[in-house]
Amino acid sequence: MKIKSVIPYLKKLALTKPYTIAYNTFYDVELVFLEIELENGIIGLGSASPAEEVIGENSEQTLQNLQSEFVQGLVGRDIRHFRQIIFETHQYFPLLAGTQAAIDLALHDAFGKFLGISIVDFYGQKIKYLPTSVTIGIMDVNETLEEAKNYAQLGFKVLKVKTGIDVEEDIERVIRLHEIYKNNLKIRVDANQGYTFEELKFFLAKTAKTNLELIEQPLKVGQESELFALNSEECKLIAADESLKNAKAALAFSTIHQPFGIFNIKLMKCGGILGALEIANIAQQANIDLFWGCNDESIVSITAALHIAYSCQNTRYLDLDGSFDLAEDLVTSGFRLEDGCLKINHKAGFGYEKIV
């Protein structure tokens, strides 16, 4: 079955509320969508939410790339060759992960619909379902506790707390959350490269009794070797995020001396599903757990990440709450949230439905 048309477009979508991380405050998000239509009328839909500060590509650049002669040249190609097309995409757009991801996801969705099979079933489902964390941005202690209360009432079981500006206040926020919720809510933190090594050690010492699940990217990219000074139990808590862009980085962090015990895979960092699988396979051989994350994203790419996360046996953690932050979206029904867990519907492709 041949590809009939390729249509990219950009949408600016408002967030339900602004949020702050260690280096920025966000009020809305620009997402790029890509529709690939087959000759029989099937439409595969992909999406990209590139973070320029991480991968060096923004949404406008992604859109321009998807309007290029190379992408329009996909018309007439056979959808059954989707993996070869993704390979060629990575060759033509090296290091442009947002562009790669949009094409990868649209091709996967079209191919799954063509076969009449969900993508998770195509790759083989290894994980039934897991809870996702929901994110609390950087705010004062009282605001943090109020946010946590609201999320707990909604049924979420895991909180991810953004940190990295004031380590003393970060410690107080985590301790207060633990005092209130004990083991009823699991707590993760994401420092977004905001700590020095000394601050990280201080944070670890002061929060040692709070049963933190993990600490995401505490040090700046390039400072990974400093983590070797931690003991083995502390290293197991540290998750690579901005440091882990592709399989080459995964291989470097999978040696005998591993600075990270957890790999955070984001489709927008590694260029889509095939790039994610490369990292996941390396991590499995190195006994490193997988933690699937996201930016502010459409249900399109969140669902895609969920499908591939559940196809990897070393998946342990989900942080796929990016679509909850959007005040609007282009699709619905890709997954359902039940008691804090994300469950997929096993419909063909990624199973989401475009809102008319």
Grouping H, G, I as helix, E, B as strand and the rest as coil, residue 133 is strand
Digits of tens for pLDDT over the chain (356 positions)? 999 999 999 999 988 877 666 656 777 899 999 999 999 999 999 999 998 888 889 999 999 999 999 999 999 999 999 999 999 999 999 999 999 999 999 999 999 999 999 999 999 999 999 999 999 999 999 999 999 999 999 999 999 999 999 999 999 999 999 999 998 999 999 999 999 999 999 999 999 999 999 999 999 999 999 999 999 999 999 999 999 999 999 999 999 889 999 999 999 999 999 999 999 999 999 999 999 999 999 999 999 999 999 999 999 999 999 999 899 999 999 999 999 999 999 999 999 999 97
Residue 21: predicted pLDDT: 64
- Architecture label for domain 121-354: Alpha-Beta Barrel (3.20)
Residue 20: predicted pLDDT: 67
Grouping H, G, I as helix, E, B as strand and the rest as coil, residue 51 is coil
Instruction: Output the CA–CA distances (angstroms, integers) from residue 26 to 114, 204, 211, 274, in the order listed.
Output: 38, 28, 30, 29
What is the rounded distance in angstroms from the CA atom of residue 131 to the CA atom of residue 318? 7
DSSP lists the bridge partners of residue 332 as 353
- Does residue 245 contact residue 273 with C-beta atoms inside 8 Å? no
**Strands laid side by side in the 133-136 sheet:** 133-136, 158-162, 186-190, 215-216, 238-240, 262-265, 289-292, 315-318
* CATH of the domain spanning 3-116: 3.30.390.10
Q: Where in the chain is the domain with CATH 3.30.390.10?
A: 3-116
What predicted TM-score, i.e. pTM, was given to this entire model?
0.94
Indicate the Cα dihedral angle 55, 161, 148, 143, nearest 10°. -100
Q: Where in the chain is the domain with CATH 3.20.20.120?
A: 121-354
DSSP lists the bridge partners of residue 133 as 158
Among 248, 243, 246, which Cα is nearest to 260's? 243
What angle do the packed helices 273-285 and 97-115 form, to 10 degrees? 100
Indicate the Cα dihedral angle 58, 68, 92, 7, nearest 10°. 80
